[in-house]
Amino acid sequence: MQAEEAWGERWVFNTLPMARTYMEVACRKQSLVCLAADRSTMDGLNELIDQVGPSIAALKTHVDLVDDWTAESWKAFCAKAAAADLLIFEDRKFADIGGISRKQMAGVYDIRSWSDLVTAHLISGPDIVDGLQAGWHDVGREGGVLLLAQMSSRGNLLEPEYTDKVVAKGKDHAGVFGFIGNGSRPEELALLRAKVGEGKLIWTPGVNLAVGDGEMGQRYGDPTEAIMAGSDCIIVGSGIHKADDPASQAQAYARASWDAFVSR
Ligand code: S5P
């Protein structure tokens, strides 16, 4: 299916190049799955791409949790992800002022040089988005910022009024790719979609085929319900990377996400 036809208003209203790239990758792979690749070794990460690359559209990393990280091994890992037609999403959850966030895109990890997407909290104000975009532009690259509008963890402090402010400031900002919503609560997600409108993307962690509570306050909801409530990408971590057979689990998540998307 052509991305333009499949995504309809989302395609028309979201003109950020990286958003359109995601919409195209999702259609090519028939998958609205982002793998949260929360493994602590380079071997473990590379193995994941080999196993599940064909079934996912994006790879979410936490570069600072890898024990044996080196610049060279990371470069090879990113090349492998690109060869598997995956967006790379560094879930750095930036939160500082704009100028410092721009500098944090450089540094040892040099996130600006390999990430297509990053997360940010809007607690410090909207200049953070300009700072992060400037970080990519410093190296001649394009990227997209996902703002945390909701979180999946119990007891989090992102109250509805805060969510509303994040959406109000983020929804007309050209550098914003979309929002992180809570995939474990479809009713909250539907409200978020109503506030966001049709333009920006909503990506949702807290999704698992086995719904219920996870480790340390994580909560899980059903992937189909999340997409039906307005999610454009389910972020799945342990449901895939801790499975006995990650490849077949990734296929199951891809199928569930794509079927729900087509019927939506
Ligand atoms: O609210 C959130 C936001 C994020 S980005 N809740 C989350 O769980 N995440 C991330 O999604 C978290 O950092 C982790 O990488 C992933 C969820 O992993 P899982 O193993 O619970 O599926």
pLDDT tens digits, 245-264: 999 999 999 999 999 999 99
Average pLDDT, the chain: 97
Is the CB of residue 88 less than 8 Å from the CB of residue 118?
no
208 contacts: CB under 8 Å, gap ≥ 6: 214, 220, 221, 223, 236, 238, 239
The whole-number pLDDT of residue 15 equals 86
Please return the burial class of 12, using the count of CB atoms within 10 Å of its CB with bins 0-12, 13-18 and 19+.
Answer: exposed
Mean pLDDT, rounded, for 119-143: 98
CA angle 120, 56, 241 (to 5 degrees): 80
| E strand intervals along the chain | 33-36, 58-61, 87-94, 117-120, 144-148, 176-180, 201-204, 212-213, 219-220, 233-236
- Going by pLDDT thresholds of 50, 70 and 90, the confidence category of residue 213 is confident
What lies within 8 Å, CB to CB, of 50 at 6+ separation is none
Q: Which pLDDT belongs to residue 138?
A: 98
Domain boundaries along the sequence of the chain: 3-263
Q: What is the pLDDT of residues 215-235, one digit of tens each?
A: 898 899 999 999 999 999 999
Rounded Cα distance, 229 and 201, in Å: 13
Say how many Å lie between the CA of residue 5 and the centre of ligand 1: 30
The topology under which CATH files domain 3-263 is TIM Barrel (3.20.20)
- pLDDT tens digits for range 139-182: 999 999 999 999 999 999 999 999 999 999 999 999 999 999 99
3-state secondary structure at position 70: coil
Cα of 92 from ligand 1 centre, angstroms:
12
Atom 6 in ligand 1: residue holding the nearest Cα = 152
> Which residue is listed with tokens 């958003």?
19
Give the dihedral of Cα atoms 90, 94, 97, 99; nearest 10 deg: -20
| pLDDT number for residue 119 | 98
Residue 126 pLDDT exceeds 80: yes
Percentage of residues of the chain with pLDDT beyond 70:
100
Pocket test for ligand 1, best of 65, 152, 184, 215 (most atoms within 8 A of CB): 152
CB 192 less than 6 A from any atom of ligand 1: no
CB distance 111 to ligand 1 below 6 Å: no
What is the distance in angstroms between the CA of the first residue and the CA of the last residue of the chain?
A: 15
Count Cα atoms within 13 angstroms, Cβ side, for 35.
31
Q: Which of 93, 218, 222, 231 to mutate to test the pocket of ligand 1 (most atoms within 8 A of CB)?
A: 218
Residues belonging to the active site:
93
Write the residue with the smallest CA distance to atom 1 of ligand 1: 151
